[in-house]
Amino acid sequence: MILLKITTFLFFLSFIATTTFAQQTINASITHDGIQRSYILYVPANYTGNSAVPLLFNFHGYGRNANEQMWYGDFRPIADTADFIIVHPQGTIDANGATHFNVGWGGSNIDDVDFTSALIDSLLLEYVIDEERIYSTGMSNGGFMSFLLACELSSRIAAIGSVTGSALPATLNSCSASLPTPVLQIHGTADPTVPYNGAAGWTEPIGSLVSYWVNFNNCDAAPQVVAMPDISPSDGSTVEKITYINGYNCNEVVHYKVTNGAHTWPGTIFTSTGTNQDINASVEVWNFVSRYTINGLINCPSLDLLDEKIKRFNVFPNPSVNGVFKVEMTEEINSMQLFDLQGRKLNVPIDIKNKTIDGTSLAEGKYLLQIETKQSILTKEIIIL
């Protein structure tokens, strides 16, 4: 969340924006589910409408607003050179009187996933947007919203980047993503608002959140870890870039772990205690998501190999009504393991020789089957009805 002390300054900047960006910043709204929903659109000056451009959703944090997020997690200078449109949706008021996007907190009945889809449809009527390059990012509650879209609107959202957000355990338990989704997560280990190690019942630990998407995208289990240059020692924090590669369609999952970082947007001009300045979150998010279309990495060199990788691993019946599964695979299997969606290994009978899994003792729901061969580690979601 943005610190309260910068709110007054942000309203002053809003006044400046009215003159400085008058031809490019548009305050607009649509009616959705009987509610007038507002948003701020930023269209770079070099947009001509002659060719399709990407669209980036930038969701604000809990209790904040679209204008604050436009300045705090600012993508406009990047859009001016990279040629994409930014939309900053405004949340609705919840029972506590705070602006929010409904990700499953507090009994809200607002359908923000459908609102996002409706807003996409509305913008497609007005602008020439590349439907295969629609992305989502956001701060805190906006990061939660991005993960919810990855689960429930993966047919339209090509990639996401979350800053200080996470996901509810319930979101992962019911995640219904229909396509592999590249994911970037930026999070501080000293975040007091959305704890890095999670909080029971409402926010997933960042480690298990990353693991979920690594498994879902079938990335390599062993990450590449790079220490980012500590170009700003005075900020009291450092950054590791943790990258999981070789997912379906060349997708990756990337986690920037900000040691001693707080609940802040790295690289923002609104610095406060715990704000890392070694990376710029806006730059990192755009550099990540812009590499992808809804079909995976742009110019993925090994799509055929990945398609073959998917084909050679099948589980049936899936879903299973009795919890018994059979694996169909030509390669020799070294090991088979079953996990819940929080990454916990489950102790169920597994017969590698006959390639069967006996999940009759498990509750209805979704699980992750991981198979290791000499060539690779493969993961598939299985469902018990």
Q: What is the pLDDT of residues 214-246, one digit of tens each?
A: 999 989 989 999 999 999 999 999 999 999 999
Q: Which residue has the higher pLDDT, 147 or 333?
A: 147
Look at residue 19 and tell me whether its pLDDT is greater than 80.
Answer: no
Question: What per-residue confidence (pLDDT) applies to 377?
Answer: 72
Whether 95 and 188 map to the same domain: the answer is yes
Please report, for the domain that includes residue 321, its CATH number: 2.60.40
Distance CA 53, CA 294 (A): 14
Whether residue 39 lies inside any domain: the answer is yes
Whether 143 and 247 map to the same domain: the answer is yes
Strands 377-384 and 35-42, sheet pairing: unpaired
Whether 226 and 190 map to the same domain: the answer is yes
The model's confidence at residue 6, banded by pLDDT at 50, 70 and 90, is: very low
Last residue of a domain, one of 262, 297, 332: 297
Whether residue 306 lies inside any domain: the answer is no
Whether 238 and 359 map to the same domain: the answer is no
Whether 65 and 10 map to the same domain: the answer is yes
Look at residue 307 and tell me whether its pLDDT is greater than 50.
Answer: no
Whether 266 and 192 map to the same domain: the answer is yes
Please report, for the domain that includes residue 172, its CATH number: 3.40.50.1820
Q: Tell me the average pLDDT across 277-288.
A: 98
Q: Which residue has the higher pLDDT, 267 or 364?
A: 267
From its phi and psi, is residue 101 left (phi > 0), alpha (psi between -120 and 50) or beta? Answer: beta
Distance CA 372, CA 250 (A): 19
The model's confidence at residue 375, banded by pLDDT at 50, 70 and 90, is: low
Whether 318 and 170 map to the same domain: the answer is no
Whether 139 and 243 map to the same domain: the answer is yes
Q: What is the pLDDT of residues 340-350, one digit of tens each?
A: 877 788 999 99
Q: What count of other Cβ atoms lies within 10 Å of the Cβ of residue 113?
A: 17
Domain that holds residue 161: 4-297
Q: What is the pLDDT of residues 176-188, one digit of tens each?
A: 888 889 999 999 9
pLDDT > 90 in the chain, percent: 71
Q: Where does 220-290 show beta strands of DSSP type E?
A: 224-227, 238-244, 253-259
Q: Tell me the average pLDDT across 257-272.
A: 97
Last residue of a domain, one of 297, 320, 348: 297
Whether 337 and 227 map to the same domain: the answer is no
Question: Is the Cα torsion angle 310, 311, 317, 318 positive or negative in sign?
Answer: positive
Q: What is the pLDDT of residues 20-40, one digit of tens each?
A: 333 489 999 999 999 999 999
Structural domain count of the chain: 2
Whether residue 261 lies inside any domain: the answer is yes
